[in-house]
Every structure is written in C-alpha cells, then in structure tokens.
Amino acid sequence: MLKELNLVIDYIEDHLTDELSLEKISEYAGVSDFHFRKIFFYLAGLTLNEYIKNRKMAEANKHLLNGEKVTDIAFKYGYQSVDGFTRAFKKWSGFLPSDVVKKGLIKSYPKLSFVITVKGGTTMECRIEEKPAFYLAGVSKRVPMQFEGVNNDIVKLAESITKEQKVEMHALQNIEPFEVVNASYNADAHFEKEEGDLTHLIGVLTTNSHVSDQLDLVPVEAYTWAIFPNEGPFPSTLQETMAKTYSEWLPASDYEVINAPTFSFTKMDPDKKDYAYSEIWLPVKKHK
C-alpha cells in the first residue's frame, strides 16, 4: 500500500492544475474511496482534500514569486474568480497574493512522501476470521466523533440502557464474540477531521432477525474480519490500537477496510483501575 500511496502522490503532483476528484484518485490507487481516505488521513495527519489544497496554494505562491499574474494563477488552479482565489490564498497563507509580489513573502508546503518507520520494535497482534452474516441488536444513537478520551455521549447512551433491554440482548446473543459490543457506522463525510457525527450502537451479535421495538436491529453482511486484541490502560490503549490499524497494519497488509459497521468489546480488569482487555473488529477484503 505504501508504494501505491507514493504513486498517488506523484499522480496528484502531475494533475494539480486539473480537477482532482477523490473518486479518481482512489480509483488510481486501486482501492475504495473509503479505504484510501482513511489510510491517507491516519498516515498524513490531514485529509486528502486539505493536502491537495495545500499543494495547490504552495505552487501558486511560487508562480506569484515568479511574477505571473494573479488572474492567470487563479484560473490555472481551478478558481472561478480572482476574488475567490484571493480569499482562499489569504486564508491558507495569512497574507494576500499581492503581498507575495510586493514583499516576496513565501509559504511552502512540500510534496509528501510515505516511508515505513519502525518504532520501538513492538509487534501488532492480529487474526483474520471469516464470519457469516449477522445482526447487531442493541441501543443506538448519533454521537459526535471523538478519537481520544472518554466520549460522554457514549457514556450517557450506556447509562440509558434499561434492565429490560439488557435481558432481551442477553437472550438474543448467539454468535461470537459473546460480549456486549460497541459498534460504529454511518459516519458523516468529514470523519477524518473528527467533525460531525456517527451512529454508535451498544448491543450484541445475533442471527435472530426479530427483536422488540425497544431495540434497534442492524444487518451486517458476511465479511472477512481483521481482529486486533489489545490490553492496557483504558480507553487510551484501545484508541491507540485503532489508530495503528490504519497507520501501520493496513498500509503494510494485503487488505483494505470496508465501509461497514466496525465494533469492539472491552473487559475491564477488576484488580486494576482503568485497565482492560479489548478487541477491535474491522471488516476487510483482499486488495484486487
């Protein structure tokens, strides 16, 4: 995947003055749009759109220094008007295009290059399992996306589950893992930037398609699953493992993540405060 990412970076460089759609870029990479955007964000630390804009503005800065007209540069990089380009450039750089010409101001943003970095010599445990179709049965709610720390909206959702709901979930549970899981799906378009909401469900896995109206039922197709066990301080270890699946494991693997519900479960250690064993389950498929 790292080779493909660097080829995509070269492709973007060759087409900075063209209309670059995320779909075209993902197609060039040979993976789904969902997978590529996730991997890119976790590796680069910014969204693909942000990267493209940064590169366009940095190149525009160079052209301005070379004495090219603002009008020509604006249209060259896809802006419909000089005003639109001027606003975008000022927001990006903090100064006007005219300041570049008058004062020789420079703001740069170099082309990215992805390399493998070995950190600390630690290994990442993973197992692959095939699983038939099943349902997630539980209580769900739209919650704000949050990559670090305790999500208070999820805490409130857990606290809202009634005794009757717990009894029904326990009765429905008939497929591994036999644990209460936290599932996430239907994230808003800007999931990479921790903006917007996603649907969070607390529930169980079941093959039973009939539940009462006090529970939500979400169908999940038959997938291959990459499972990542982790143990340590909670929730930081769980969240760090999730980040590593996208920044380390997936780029080096033969798999890509599927846009489908992901889930995890956690067993708190009764003898250690805020310490737990968890597993993250990601739906994946082999690269073509």
Q: For the residues 109-121, what does the mean pLDDT come to?
A: 65
Average pLDDT over residues 266-276: 90
Provide the pLDDT confidence category of residue 116 given band limits of 50, 70 and 90: low
Considering only residues 31 and 282, tell me which one the structure prediction assigns the higher pLDDT: 282
Q: All domains of the chain, ordered by start, with CATH? A: 2-103 (1.10.10.60), 127-286 (3.20.80.10)
Mean pLDDT to the nearest integer, 115-125: 56
- In this prediction, residue 149 carries a pLDDT of 67
Percent of the chain scoring above 90 in pLDDT = 49
- pLDDT of 1 reads 61
Question: Average pLDDT, stretch 252-275?
Answer: 90
- Average pLDDT of the residues in 189-217: 83
Residue with the larger pLDDT of the pair 66 and 5: 66
Q: What is the mean pLDDT of residues 223-247?
A: 89
Segment 242-257 shows an average pLDDT of 84
Residue 70 pLDDT exceeds 50: yes
Query: pLDDT band for position 120 (50/70/90)?
Result: very low
Is residue 167 predicted with pLDDT exceeding 90? yes
Model confidence over 1-40: pLDDT tens digits? 667 778 888 989 999 998 888 778 877 877 777 788 888 8
Q: 201 pLDDT exceeds 90?
A: yes
Alpha carbon separation from 173 to 160, 204, 208, 211, 260 (Å, rounded): 20, 6, 9, 12, 20
